[in-house]
Structure 1
Amino acid sequence: MDEVRVVVAHSERTTLRVGDTFLKVDADDANLEVEVEAIGLAPVPTPEILWRKPHVLALAAVPGTALGVLGRPSPASPDAWAAAGAAVRKLHEAPLPPWSAPSNDEIVAGLDRECDWLIANDVLPADLVTRNRELAELVFRPWTPVFAHGDLQITHIFTERDEVTGIIDWSEASQGDPLNDLAVLTLGHEECLDDLLAGYGTDVDVEVIQAWWSLRSLKAARWLIEHGFDPNTPGAEFDVLRARM
């Protein structure tokens, strides 16, 4: 008999796996609406939608294995990372989706709130927060929006025989900064960036990707802590911030 496995669970969202079916339960039904529409628009392999009800989405499992997990070396080959880069480039060249990403002003305001919280609550040393906030400033430059995944974590791209078999978790898809997708995918896996960019196939500003590593880690810290995750585990967000020093 298939067992129910909890993939992720917190106050905003829970994902369960039963056999080859994933059930996503989201407190904000709009997130699932975005995911359904994005899956239909994305020109890359995505999960099959089995059914949809208010606050619940059933998806079929995608074949293959995730590129890795945060905090551990990626088991994927350089060719698999290059294939992921090619898939991300294909997504970024697709027609824009209808949802806009936050503006630079909104991102700055949110980032500064999180930095103030990290320092005020002695979560991280002030000099570490300040230095990474300075590095993150490179993100705020003119950029052309693309069809962005928005949460392209290393666990969200699956490959098999060095080919991409599925990209999952589309609830944050929007018109976004392409380098944010590349940064999120390589967060904590800097050694894989060259292989990813070899498949992506165009010149990018690596310093901006590194700036996104700082920004993402600073902004995510409080949410992770408040939802039962530890950004201080080896190789995770706090190590990413320390490495930027």
Structure 2
Amino acid sequence: MTRNVFVLTGAGISAESGLGTFRDTDGVWARFDPMRLATPEGFAADPVLVHDFYNHRRCDARAAAPNPAHAALARLEAGLAERGGRLFLCTQNIDDLHERAGSRHVVHMHGELLRARCTACGTETVWHEDLTVETACPHCTRVGGMRPDVVWFGEMPKHLDAIDEALAEADLFVAIGTSGAVYPAAGYVAQARAFGIPTLALTLDEADNARMFEAIRLGRASETVPALADELLSGTA
């Protein structure tokens, strides 16, 4: 029976909750310039514009509800733990839908929309409200230095050591709703295969790195993820 499962989720798992993907033809970066909105340089040049963009995204995330795929992963986490196993849930998403569905341990490699970071003192803090250029850091009190605690283009993803360690210990690697275009996440399937770990992609459309996976299941995440959770918990996968 599979005991240690490494799951990587991308924008596709939250798309059915109404949150936009990024790299599809009608995705976020097809409608907005990421260099102006998701880089340190863009923030320095026009922090008002960047804050407005992320304030809207924060509002959308708060209004969205977890879907059956999120719930299935929470159920899988609990079920594996009962059997002495582990689900390592690594997400590229910055929303909190996994947590609101009941997942207890979520690694956000690209940061979290509902957290903020002070560029002056580096303090990270939970933040559910709007950010503006007038927002003061609750730690150092500096005004104007608060930014979303998300990983922008050109910045290093978070928790890379923990991710590498968990991947090396996994019995199964599953990617759900990922584009397969953003590194280092897109390279985890190759890393898993180098460790001899079976690899599976659950996706609506084939990802850019689809050829790297040993198995692919096409379909809506709200259908494929609950089905996989059932198989893993029953020992049939």
TM-score by length of 1: 0.29
TM-score by length of 2: 0.30
